[in-house]
Homo-oligomer: A and B are copies of this chain.
Amino acid sequence: MAKKVAVLGAGNGGCAFAGHLATKGFEVGLYEDPKFEVEGIKEAGGIELSGKFEGFGRLSKVSTDIGEVMLGADVVMVVVPAFAQSIIMERALPYLEDGQVVVFNPDNFASLVFRKMLNSEGVKKDIKIAGTASLLYACVKISPTNVEIHYVKDVMFVAALPATDNDVVVQSLRDIYSSLVPQGNVLEVSFGNINQILHCPAAVLNAGRIEDTKGDFMFYWEGMTESVCRVMQTMDEEKIRVAEKVGFKLMSTHDYLKHFYQSEKPGIDLHDFVTHSRAHGGRGPDAPKDLHYRYVSEDVPYGLVPISLFAEEVDVPTPAIDSIITLASILNETDYLEEGRSMEELGLSGKSRTEILELIERGGR
């Protein structure tokens, strides 16, 4: 019997997962919030793929009823923007089944939020929780039923919470992610989301251009100049120092990129990579049309903010990261420190460094 996958979220990423996994023979159900439109997919019976893959992924179910989609699923893929993760978790809660693996794509610290929710709701079912460092697909919906996939990352980093579940989770996901590489723990995975380093400073340090031209330039190739990349690089080094002090080793963003995009030229440094990568530019203007785009509204509160909070915990200064958070907040009239993931929400507030590591490694309280 084919493995049953529930994909929660029918945006660019969710549709890519659903369509692609269906063409690969999985039995796929797709859930979307009733306030978004999935009638087109329902009528078509599936998702058309173009770009890297051609084909039609016939879905077993398309629904705005989350319970219906989760019923009997082996793997539940949560593929929604970070700000919607908690809402989806709450909706999914009553329909969880023993033995299900719930994967956050990408994690952005959601696995910790979910674990806390399961604990506080007293859920006793045997659920495995995992998160990835990045979205598997570089993709975009070109019509309501058609997803164009530009690139499938050559490596996908994943970890379970607690890390002692890594083996069983990796085993159950191996046919979904063809090049799975387990990481030490979910913090490594969430810290390892390169969007924080790539998107946030490039948006802030091009704020005037984004707003003035409404995104009429190549975000990577033209926006990530040498000086802008120097800020990225500094933020990356700050993040690596925080991780080290928390107790795990983090790769540089440049190294992550080299793993993810192995057919690209490795580049001599971050700037060289991002301004030449064909996966990231060369198809014309692609910068955000305004500063409320997820490069800021998602990646700052759900990426940079928790890292800055961890930095405070372990007493590592992160002036570059904090400056970008501060300016992004002013630019968008939104207090991202207030809005973003808090240590409380992650279930880590008041915990020592050792207790945090114990919790993510072995599930200790």
Given contacts A320-B326, A323-B323, A326-B319, A333 and B230 within 8 Å (CB-CB):
yes
**B211 engages A209 (CB within 8 Å):** no
When distances are taken between beta carbons in the complex, the residues of chain B under 8 Å from A231 are 327, 330-331
**A330 engages B207 (CB within 8 Å):** no
Interface size, A (range): 20 to 34
Q: Which residue of B lies closest to A234 (CB)?
A: B330
Which among A33-41, A160-168, A218-226 touches the partner chain? Answer: A218-226
**Is A205 in contact with chain B by the CB < 8 A criterion?**
yes
**Is A322 in contact with chain B by the CB < 8 A criterion?**
yes
Task: Digitize A330-363: 1 where CB-to-B-CB distance is under 8 Å, 0 elsewhere.
Answer: 1111000000000000000000000000000000
**Complex Cα spacing A89 to B342, Å:** 52
**B222 engages A212 (CB within 8 Å):** yes
**Is A206 in contact with chain B by the CB < 8 A criterion?**
yes
When distances are taken between beta carbons in the complex, the residues of chain B under 8 Å from A228 are 207-208, 211, 331
When distances are taken between beta carbons in the complex, the residues of chain B under 8 Å from A322 are 323, 326
- The 8 Å CB contact of A224, one of B208, B227, B333, is B208
When distances are taken between beta carbons in the complex, the residues of chain B under 8 Å from A177 are none
When distances are taken between beta carbons in the complex, the residues of chain B under 8 Å from A256 are none
**Is A204 in contact with chain B by the CB < 8 A criterion?**
yes
When distances are taken between beta carbons in the complex, the residues of chain B under 8 Å from A331 are 205, 227-228, 230-231
**A212 engages B223 (CB within 8 Å):** yes
**Complex Cα spacing A327 to B227, Å:** 10
**Is A291 in contact with chain B by the CB < 8 A criterion?**
yes
**Complex Cα spacing A207 to B333, Å:** 21
When distances are taken between beta carbons in the complex, the residues of chain B under 8 Å from A224 are 208
Q: Which residue of B lies closest to A231 (CB)?
A: B330
When distances are taken between beta carbons in the complex, the residues of chain B under 8 Å from A227 are 207-208, 211, 291, 331-332
When distances are taken between beta carbons in the complex, the residues of chain B under 8 Å from A225 are 207-208, 211-212
**Complex Cα spacing A221 to B106, Å:** 39
3 closest Cβ contacts across the A-B interface? Answer: A323-B323, A211-B225, A209-B209
- A231-B327, A234-B330 provided; 15 other pairs, C-beta below 8 A? A202-B208, A205-B207, A205-B208, A205-B331, A206-B207, A209-B209, A209-B223, A227-B291, A228-B331, A230-B333, A231-B330, A231-B331, A320-B327, A323-B327, A324-B327
Give 28 CB contacts A-B under 8 Å: A205-B206, A205-B208, A205-B327, A206-B206, A207-B225, A207-B227, A207-B228, A208-B209, A208-B222, A208-B223, A208-B224, A209-B217, A211-B228, A212-B223, A230-B330, A230-B331, A231-B330, A234-B330, A320-B326, A320-B327, A320-B330, A322-B323, A322-B326, A323-B324, A323-B326, A323-B327, A324-B327, A327-B327
